Copies of this chain bind each other. A is one copy, B any other.
Amino acid sequence: MNNLTTPGKIPSDLVADWHTLHRVFIRPEDEKSRQTLIKYMEQILFGLHDFLNTHVGVTEAIPLAALAQSFTDTTINREPEKKLADVIQDIINQIAPRAVNVASPYFIGHMTSAIPFFMVHLKAIAAALNQNLIKLETSKVLSVLEKQVLAKIHRMIYSNAQTFYDIHVQNANTCLGLFTNGGTTANITALWVARNRCLPATAEFSGVEQDGMAAAMTAHDLEQLVVLVSERGHYSLKKAGGVLGIGNKNVIAVKVNKHQQIDMAELTRQVEASAQNKKIRIAAIVGIAGATETGTIDPLPEMARLCRTHGIHFHVDAAWGGPVMLSDKYAGLLDGISEADSVTIDCHKQFYMPMSAGMVFFKDPTALDRIIYHAGYVNRKGSVDLGIKTLEGSREASSLILDSALKIMGSQGYALMIEHGIETARLFAEKIRNRDRFQLVTEPVLNILTYRAVPPALNQLLEAAVTPARRQAVDTCLDRINTDLQRIQREAGKSFVSRTCLKIHPDDAHTPVVLRSVIMNPYTDGRVLDQILDEQETILQSPEILQHQKIGFMAPI
């Protein structure tokens, strides 16, 4: 244990003793101590927030490598190094200024954004209660509340009859859905259920869960088990294929149409081809309701119909788009989702909850019976313990946060946020179209769009390039411009858009770099978006970018 002592550290007069330790576990008895703890919380609430209103912070002003040099001591001090007050001050002064200000209206690059103020209070409540939702004995009323809030969201998705919810909302034997750590584990859970559903027990086989994938394939005389999802699918679906023993290459990317939706003709062809081949079985087809890169939504009703015809599990990954159902104005965009066998929705995305919580729902309240696990000391058979049917074990009371947020916001509060995002993204698209240095790549269906910078001279070349090879030459040059544009803007630290690669012409081998914008902060408005585009136009005039443009002209076309 010698490595644990750190002679080199600044000596502190703090000593870990039993009396002090004892005290940190109880409610302070005197008013002075109470006021001290309150003062710390005030620093957290406002000290942090003051910073968060002044920086975007995805800056390289202190390059990462240099920053990392301050975080290389790997010893744990034997005695306390700091008091709580100093830890909080250090976080405010040293950590926060070097974190990313995801709350800035100029941070429109990722699906992480500002959260309402009260979410910090709700998270603090969940921590103070410290209930563990794995089991009734460590959660009691929270387990009951969790079932209720899951039923509320299930009803938002499936709109079943009142009698259905009367039966299931507090039914200990059925399960309408569950909370997870996020969309990734929600998607894994859905495909886990789908895998087990399509490889059930037979006379000489106990089912894939017990006997494993290899035995399952033999028992069902199969050569390949596949999951079909468009090439816009989230990478967690491929990961799920790997984790679940299906193999990630068997999570097959179906090509998209020009609206970035799954190509129904191609999907139908693949489904019908497998139907002809008894050695191939489709475990699930995944529809996307809010693609991570483009915000686009697959044709869910057609996909549902195809799945029903062929008896295939239909999963909808609505990690991003799910809460759009709360907006009367735009709920129609998700039509068909009520026909899904399972649905993923994230809490830390458009439910504006802090990191990290997701949910997965099942049309059939007994679907989760396929993944039941018991133990003698916890989650005994027949108990109402929620941990029986979850991928994860111990879990915090995210349900209390969502339930409280729904009460504070109302569905209409969420609807206003979501409508603002969609409509501001449309406004942004309009602004991009109106500027001749930019090309809108994907229209915003929800609140996500992609575009790229195309300097006028290169635009002429692009328009003249009619063959894939010629387009590729220009695109390669544009890729350099857009990669550097995104980097320079990020490093400047005032605003942030992200980047990804998207096919613009379906037939091209090359996949160009595009800029990606996600608009969910209520303070992101037309003025902010103009400033972001202005900044990009300025960067486009910098020598670094103009250099690329010159090379572009020289490229053989």
Q: How far is the CA of A83 from the CA of B413 in the complex (A)?
A: 13
A128: which B residues are within 8 A, CB to CB? 44-45, 48-49, 52, 120
* Chain B residue contacts of A57, Cβ below 8 A: 140
**How far, in whole Å, are A253 and B240 apart by their CA atoms in the complex?**
27
- The distance in angstroms between the C-alpha atoms of A236 and B67, with both chains bound, is 38
Asked, given contacts A4-B326, A27-B49, A214-B217, whether A354 binds B138 with beta carbons under 8 Å apart, the answer is no
CB of A436 to closest CB in B, whole Å: 26
CB-defined contacts of A498 to chain B, threshold 8 Å: 137, 377-378
Q: Tell me if A72 counts as interface (CB < 8 A to partner B).
A: yes
Q: Which residue in chain B gives the minimum CB-CB distance to A25?
A: B114
The distance from the CB of A31 to the nearest CB of chain B, in whole angstroms, is 11
A315 located at the interface, meaning its Cβ lies under 8 Å from any Cβ of chain B in the complex:
no
Asked if B76 and A406 sit within 8 Å, CB to CB, the answer is yes
Q: Residues of B contacting A355 with CB < 8 Å? A: 126-127, 130-133, 394-397
Task: Give the chain B neighbours of A208 by CB distance below 8 A.
Answer: 245, 247
A314 to B139, CA, bound (A): 34
Contact B144 A130 (CB under 8 A): no
Contact A500 B377 (CB under 8 A): yes
Shortest distance from the beta carbon of A95 to any chain B beta carbon, whole Å:
6
Q: Find out whether the CB atom of A394 lies under 8 angstroms from the CB atom of B348.
A: yes
CB-CB contacts below 8 Å: A385-405 with B:
391-397, 400, 404
Partner of A242 from the list B131, B182, B371, B502 (CB cut-off 8 Å) is: B371
Please tell me if A509 contacts chain B, counting CB pairs below 8 Å.
Answer: no
Q: Which residue of B lies closest to A217 (CB)?
A: B214
How far apart sit A271 and B267, CA to CA, in the bound complex (Å)?
Answer: 47
Contact A225 B248 (CB under 8 A): no
Which A474-522 residues have a C-beta within 8 angstroms of B? 490, 496, 498-502, 511, 516, 521-522
Known A242-B371, A247-B210, A413-B21; contact A71-B148, beta-carbon cutoff 8 A: yes
Say yes or no: B100 contacts A131, CB within 8 Å: yes
Q: Of the 9-residue stretches A84-92, A427-435, A537-545, which lies at the interface with chain B?
A: A84-92
User: Which listed residue (B183, B244, B356, B373) contacts A396, Cβ 8 A?
Assistant: B356
A1-B407 in contact given A58-B140, A84-B121, A412-B78 (Cβ < 8 Å): no
* Interface membership of A328, Cβ < 8 A: yes
- The answer to whether A68 touches B102, judged by C-beta atoms less than 8 angstroms apart, is no
| A502 contacts across to B, CB distance below 8 A | 376
- In the bound complex, do residue B119 and residue A127 qualify as a contact, i.e. CB atoms below 8 Å apart? yes
Contact A103 B130 (CB under 8 A): yes
Does residue A14 face the partner (Cβ distance < 8 Å to B)? Answer: yes
Pair A407/B141 contact, Cβ less than 8 Å: no
Cβ of B124 and Cβ of A120 under 8 Å apart? yes
Chain A, residues 400-431, CB within 8 Å of chain B (1/0): the string is 10001011111111011100100000000000
Check B135–A110 contact: CB distance below 8 A: yes
| Alpha-carbon distance between A42 and B145 when the two chains are bound, in angstroms | 24
A96 at interface by CB-CB < 8 Å: yes
Cα A247 to Cα B208 with chains together (Å):
6
Is the CB of A268 closer than 8 A to any CB of chain B?
Answer: no
Of all chain B residues, the one with the shortest Cβ separation from A411 is B76
| Residues of A within 8 A of B (CB-CB), count | 195
Other-chain contact of A121, B40, B103, B214, B239 (Cβ < 8 Å) = B40
Query: What are the 3 A-B residue pairs with the smallest beta carbon separation, nearest first?
Result: A245-B245, A212-B247, A184-B393
Contact, CB under 8 Å: A132 / B110: yes
**Would you call B407 and A77 a contact (CB within 8 A)?**
yes
Query: Does A553 touch B at the CB level, under 8 Å?
Result: no
Q: In the assembled complex, which residues on chain B have CB atoms less than 8 Å from the CB atom of A115? A: 25, 127, 130
Q: Mark each residue of chain A from 219 to 251: 1 if its CB lies under 8 Å from any CB of chain B, else 0.
A: 000100100000000111011011111111110
A261 nearest CB across to chain B (Å) = 18
Give complex CA distance A376, B44 in Å.
Answer: 35
A394 — which chain B residues lie within 8 A by C-beta?
Answer: 112, 182-184, 346, 348, 355-356
Chain B residues whose CB sits within 8 angstroms of the CB of A110 once the complex forms:
132, 135, 137-138, 378
Most buried by B among A1, A234, A502: A1
Residue A173 at the B interface, CB < 8 A? no
Contact A185 B181 (CB under 8 A): yes
How distant is A312 from chain B, measured CB to nearest CB, in Å? 18
Contact among B148, B181, B218 with A181 in the assembled complex (CB-CB below 8 Å): B181
Verify B142–A404 contact, CB threshold 8 A. no
Chain B residue nearest in CB terms to A12: B410
Q: Beyond the given A71-B169, A80-B412, could you list 13 further A-B residue pairs with CB under 8 A, ordered by the A residue number?
A: A3-B159, A22-B522, A25-B114, A26-B117, A38-B42, A44-B125, A71-B141, A77-B411, A80-B410, A123-B126, A185-B391, A185-B393, A210-B242
A192 close to chain B: CB less than 8 A? yes
Q: Which residues of chain B are near A129, meaning CB under 8 Å?
A: 48, 52, 95-96, 99
- Chain B, residue nearest A50 (CB): B27
Residues of chain B contacted by A118 (CB below 8 angstroms): 24, 84, 87
A8 to chain B, nearest CB (A): 11
Contacting pair B212 A130 (CB below 8 A): no
- Whether A144 contacts B25 by the Cβ 8 Å rule is no
